[in-house]
Each structure stands twice: as structure tokens, then as C-alpha cells.
Amino acid sequence: MIIAQITDTHIVAKGQEWKSLSQTQIARRLKLVVDHLNALIPKPDVVLLTGDAIDDAGMEGYTHLKEILKLLSIPLYIIPGNHDDREDMRVAFQHQSYMPSEGFIHYVIDDYPVRLIGLDTVVPGQPQGMLCRERIDWLSRVLQENQEKPTLIFMHHPLIKIGQKLLDQLNCHTPEDFEGLVASFPNIIGIISGHYHKSCATIFGGTLCFVAPSVAPVHYFEKASDEKTKIIELVHPSFVLHKWMGGSHLVSEVVQTVEPDKRLSIEKNLKE
């Protein structure tokens, strides 16, 4: 099974750009990623959009997002990030059978060889994330329902700190015993997230904890001690292919998407 992850698309209303910078070409970046995903052979089984789908852009943002995502030919599952609005997202994706009609946007997808659990880590109005007791109780209950099937958890805010002062304040806050809960379910093959706009990974509770790079541009930090940034870098939009190889083996491959005219034919160049 191949699970594609796209994250932090930060789509704004049509005709606008991320942070009002035309160079960000924020919709174009997502369109490139959608085209890239559609052309993959083999095609991923699912695409998970792990939050910051829009950039505080309300229903106009979700309308624009859906206009781009309708070009995607792979089933998509979405969860909110800190720049999303839980209720607007619910309305925008209410036609999807997995979307809860109320409360946190968390759910289980049991239709594939890997069980997928989406978690809602949003604290409205706050940039950091949280798993409160109510959400942890829900997670614990659904994990207990199937302790055999390989299970992948996807959420917006990373559980891990990475040694960058600002980002480390904005991770997913959990009670101290949460890592022990994860460790008590060895069938969890990974916990994937976004939010940091950069890729990094470590082990948490004995499982892979992977932070995916963003579709949107990347925040630039000069020093690890920086507590804010005013610079963004226009790196290529990226996504991740999480390939389940059987058992507990998950291979996570970061893919950069480039404009098609930036791909050079080696054969053609050799002839010229």
C-alpha cells in the first residue's frame, strides 16, 4: 500500500497569494503536486492532507482548495491544522463519508491493508497543537479495537521537538504518559504530521515519527534560537510517499515536484 501525504498547502482565496506575495504562487504549487500524484506509477492508494490546507481564508479558501483537489484522481482524506477552521472544513467536506458531523475531526479509515487514524490536534486560535484527555481517550479506544492490523496515525502538529526554538513551542502538547500509550500498541507503524514545513524524523514511543515537508514555501530561520522569522524560501513544493512494505516496515520517501520544463532529457543532451 502506498500512502501519499501532502501537507501545509496554505491555499488562499482565488486571485490572492500566500502572505500577499505573488512569488509564492500558492495554488500553482498545489496544482503541480496534484499533477505529479496523478501521474505516478503505481498510483498511491490514498492521499492524506495533514492540515493547514488553507491559510485562514474561510469558505473562500476551501472553495478554491476543492477546485484544485477535484483534479486529484486518488481518494483524499483531510484533517485540520492551525490555519484551518474546523467548522468551515467540516462544511466544505461534509459530502465525504469519513467526515464527522460534529466535534473533533478525527476518524478511522479501515478500508485498506493499513488502518489509518486521523487525529485533530487543533486548539482554535492557537498555533500550537494539543491532544487533550478527551482526544486521547478516543484514540486509546479505537486503537484497542484492533491491535493486530498495521496502523498509521496522521495529525497536523508533530509530537516531536527538533531543536528550533519557535517550532519547538508549537508542537503537539500531550500529557507525559502519551508516549507510553503509543508504545503499548506495537501495531502502530508510524505517526506522520506536517506543520514545520520541513522534513525530519525520529522515534517516539517505539514507532516512526515523521514530519513531512510542505507544499507551501518554507520559513527561513537563521539560528536555532530564532523565535520568529520574516523570510520564506521558495523551495520546490514537496510531498511524501509512505510505502508499507509489510509487517511494521514503512519506507517514507520525500518527493520534490518541479515544473515539467525543468526536467532535462539526458539522452537528448548527449546527442546534441
50 and 212 Cβ atoms separated by less than 8 Å? yes
Cis-peptide into 42, omega within 30 deg:
yes
CA distance 170 to 125: 13
Residue 120 near Fe ion by CB under 5 A: no
- Those residues whose C-beta lies under 8 Å from the C-beta of residue 66, and which sit 6 or more positions away, are 92
* Calpha distance 173→242 (Å, rounded): 25
Determine the Cα–Cα distance for residues 229 and 210; give it in Å rounded to an integer: 23
The reply to whether 29 sits near Fe ion by the rule CB under 5 A is no
- Least distance from C-beta 180 to Fe ion, angstroms? 26
* Smallest distance, Fe ion to C-beta of residue 61, A: 13
Q: Which is nearer to Fe ion, 82 or 151 (CB)?
A: 82
Q: Please list every residue from 3 through 22 that binds Fe ion, using CB under 5 A.
A: 8
Instruction: Please give the single-letter amino acid code of residue 251.
Output: V
Segment contacting Fe ion by CB under 5 A, of 11-19, 49-57, 105-113, 220-228: 49-57
Given a contact cutoff of 8 angstroms between Cβ atoms, the answer to whether 191 and 209 are in contact is yes
Question: Phi, psi at residue 249, to the nearest 5°?
Answer: -90, 115
The nearest distance, CB 197 to Fe ion, in angstroms, is 6
Query: What string marks each residue from 65 to 104 as x (binds Fe ion by CB under 5 A) or -?
Result: ----------------xx----------------------
Looking at beta carbons only, is 69 or 114 nearer to Fe ion?
A: 69
Residue 81 or 217 with smaller CB distance to Fe ion? 81
* Region 177-216 residues binding Fe ion, contact defined as CB under 5 A: 195
Closer residue to Fe ion (CB): 150 or 213: 213
User: By CB under 5 A, is residue 52 in contact with Fe ion?
Assistant: yes
Cβ-count burial 32-65 (b if 16+ within 10 Å, e if not): bbbebbeeeeeebbbbbbbbbbbbebeebbbebb
- Return the number of the residue (118 or 150) whose C-beta is nearest Fe ion: 118
Interface with Fe ion (CB under 5 A), residue total 5
Nearest distance in Å: CB 78, Fe ion: 14
203 and 209 in contact (C-beta within 8 Å)? yes
Choose the binding region for Fe ion from 50-58, 71-79, 235-243, 254-262 (rule: CB under 5 A). Answer: 50-58
State in angstroms the smallest separation of the CB of 31 from Fe ion. 18
Q: Count H helices, E strands: the chain?
A: 7, 15
Q: Which residues bind Fe ion (CB under 5 A)?
A: 8, 52, 81-82, 195
